[in-house]
Structure 1
Amino acid sequence: MASHGVPRPSTITTKDEQARLKEEKDIKDYRALVDLTSEREYSLEVLELTSKLLTKNPEYYTIWNVRRRLLTYGLFSKPSDSSLLSMELPSTSQTDTTTTSSADSSSSLSQATPPSQNSRMTGKTGTTLDAIKNDLAFLVPLLMGWPKCYWIWNYRLWLLQQAKERLDMEIARAIWTQELGLVGKMLTRDNRNFHGWGYRRKIVAELESPELGGSSMVETEFEYTTKMFSASLSNFSALHTRSKLIPKLLNERRSDDGARLRFLTNEFDLIAKALWTDAYNQSAWFYHEYLMTNLLEPVMQSTITPNMSSTERSAYVVLQIENVKEMLEGEEECKWIYNALLGNTMALWQLEERSPMSDELQDCKTWLVELRKLDPLRRGRWDDLEKEFRRF
């Protein structure tokens, strides 16, 4: 069985006696950690145990909830220290992740009471800031090892929310800003990680919020998507984020109809370069389809050119169809070109509220024949389209 076209290697291996004994010991140690962390004592010792367990298995979401409770009813509810804490994040080594700013690091926190809903630490001193920074540092090597683990991302967002709710605005904003830098480094390592892109959108939304004294970051984020797409033309996540930014970008620029049309043309030019480079670039075709949708939607419903008349839209769609036709030369085996030509031509009929002309209908039938050969798994869809053509 293959996954994304990559055959799975055989998982059946013969283990020698030494490997079997080591595996049994690892399982025994793991189960012992699980038993120890199930204790309901809010102590630093249990917090350290959760660190060890999550380092072995970050997918164990129940332990993340245990860790939340340990912080909420333990470190977060302790009084502030008297020493001023540095805003610089601590080292990300595993040995540093279980240390706290409390002088009595071995004392039990089991007697701590849950904090009041209205309580707010100043954030300038105290174990709250230290605990948040230490825990954020603890997660960094986990994210590097398991960059697509939902539970790590969810827990990290929870920590950042705690900073927002419990610390001074200036300090909380500094922590969120550092987080934007971190996710930028992660996307440099893996620029198509959709977890990282979704996380970045959440971080930016918080940095823009009034609670953190923010302002719009749409221009800089739009430039960021351009840079990331230029580095990898198949970066679907960058294009998806770009599509989400466009309506807000044009509104903030107060773009008139002429500026909006020029913007749309520039976007078509950008994506056309990617398609001419690689006609099989599925991500680029999806973004091309998004741009075409802005032309094919009814007037006033387009997010890019809402005031463009139906006549102007039709002329622009015809131009784009001709541009795509040119890509066929030398790429006759690319199903994405035929799919775009067929879909956009049929959409043009609906936009102009007319029946197809004879040459258009013949072209569509020809493209449909090619799609049947290149994409046989969608035979049912091609059968339905063939029946629709018979009506004309």
Structure 2
Amino acid sequence: MHGVKRKQWTQELLKQKKEQDRKRITQYRGLVDKLLDSRDSKTYNMEVFKETTQLLRINPEYNAGWNYRRDIIEHLSPELKHEFWEDELAFSMALLKDYPKVYWIWNHRKWTLENHIDKSVKIWLRELAIVSKLLQMDPRNFHGWHYRRILVAEIEGRTGQSRDGEELQYAIDNTNKNISNYSAWHQKATLIPKMFEKDEIKDKKKFIQDEFTYITNAIYTDAEDQSVWFYIEWFVKNHIVIDALGRDELIQKLQELQENILAINEDDLQFSGKQNNWCLKVLIVLEDVQRNLKVQFTPHSHEYLAQLIEADPMRKNRYLHLLHRK
């Protein structure tokens, strides 16, 4: 008897949910149609502005709604006070908390800052602090990292001062907290060449030496995480490494890294009976780099490639490209 009641109650809940969904869809379609009519008739007032708020709360991915909202704001801007712009930032922030990976919200927030009645650098500095907190909650949100780079560029342009050092440390702090933070590794790869070019790193040789130590520790921390392996491929191929170390020391560092990767792969093989595909991929890359440096060695790339294909034949074509990367 208990089972029957539960089934009937579930059916009732499903019926209620379908009715609620139907009402929401009807409401949403009605809002869309009304807003598009207002847009086409070039209506720009606060009443329609509030309707865009209602619509975007339901569906923040509706880009036409954001575009129309900005058109309304631009037409009303002469009469808009400081409080309005702060409320607009609060509106987008409320949406970001629920939809942190919707591009159109980030885009509108940037537009709001650019058009804010306060033209001082302080609102951009405040925004940088805010996005730092957001990235604490979602450290790998690539939208947030991209937005952060936009903020930093704006602040640098307004102050005339580089923030590269602070941003590099921020990225390092994030990889220290979570080795699998791909966005933080990407941030490092973006900043380091720029800092070398601008001569913002005093002891370049020591920096590169330390980075070899850092990535070696990283692969021992989590040999399954792809973030550090992607970074290693970028790092060993970048000209800043040989420029800082010179050919002979670079060869030594590459061989040490190779030995550590071989050791990790052997451990994985003994523990699980399977080789680590990321180890095999990067071993191919390291041999390619050494070949370009005219190092004499016995190559094993085809052997590594055969092992990769055997483990995952569906990716054969992708693996074959490893031998032809530049």
- Tell me the distance in 1 between the aligned counterparts of 2:206 and 2:47: 62
Q: Which residue of 2 aligns with 1:129?
A: 82
| Residue 174 (structure 2) aligned to one of 228, 231, 234 | 228
What is the one-letter code of the residue matched to 2:72? L
Contact 2:237 2:289 in 1 (8 A): no
Q: Deviations over 1:149-171 (max 9, x none)?
A: 111111111111112xx5443xx
Give the conservation status (yes or no) of the 8 Å contact 1:47–1:67: yes
Aligned counterpart, 1:329: 266
2:205 to 261, 264, 267: 261
Match of 1:249 in 2: 195
Letter in 2 for 1:49: E
* Aligned with residue 178 of structure 1, among 116, 126, 129: 126
Does the CA contact (< 8 Å) of 1:192 and 1:237 recur in 2? yes
CA displacement at 1:178 relative to structure 2: 1.5
- TM-score, structure 2 normalization: 0.85
SS at match of 1:331: helix
CA contact (8 A) 1:247 1:304 kept: no
SS of equivalent residue, structure 1 residue 30 = helix
1:234 Cα deviation (Å)?
0.4
* CA spacing shift, 1:254–1:168, aligned 2, 3 Å: closer
Q: Pick closer, same or farther for the CA change 1:379–1:247 going to 2, 3 Å.
A: closer
1:320 to 232, 257, 261: 257
**For 1:197, which of 145, 148, 153 is the aligned residue?**
145
Structure 2 Cα separation of the partners of residues 291 and 223 of structure 1:
18
SS of 1:328's partner is helix
Taking the aligned partners of 1:246 and 1:265, their CA distance within structure 2 comes to 14
- What is the aligned counterpart of 1:71 among 54, 70, 73? 73
Residue 73 of structure 1 aligns to a residue whose secondary structure is helix
Q: Give the number of equivalent residue pairs.
A: 305
Q: Is the CA contact 2:208–2:244 (under 8 Å) kept in the aligned structure 1?
A: no
In the superposition, relative to structure 1, how do residues 375 and 268 fare at CA in structure 2: closer, same or farther (>3 Å)? farther
Residue-by-residue CA offset, 1:228-279 (whole Å, 9 max, x unaligned): 11111100100101111112333555546xx212111111211211210111
SS in 1 for 2:243: coil
Q: Measure, in 2, the Cα distance between the counterparts of 1:248 and 1:384.
A: 29
Q: TM (normalized to structure 1)? A: 0.71
Moved more, 367-376 or 189-198: 367-376
- Find 1:289's aligned residue among 201, 225, 233: 233
1:219–1:175 distance in 2 versus 1, CA, 3 Å = same
1:274 matched residue in structure 2: 218
Q: Which residue of 1 aligns with 2:23?
A: 25
2:55 matched to which residue of 1? Answer: 53
Structure 1 residues 24 and 368: alpha-carbon distance in aligned structure 2, compared to 1, 3 A threshold: closer
SS at match of 1:42: coil
Q: How does 1:81-230 map to 2 (within 5 A)?
A: 127-163=80-116, 167-169=118-120, 173-209=121-157, 212-230=158-176
- Contact kept, 8 Å, 1:268 with 1:291, in 2: the verdict is no
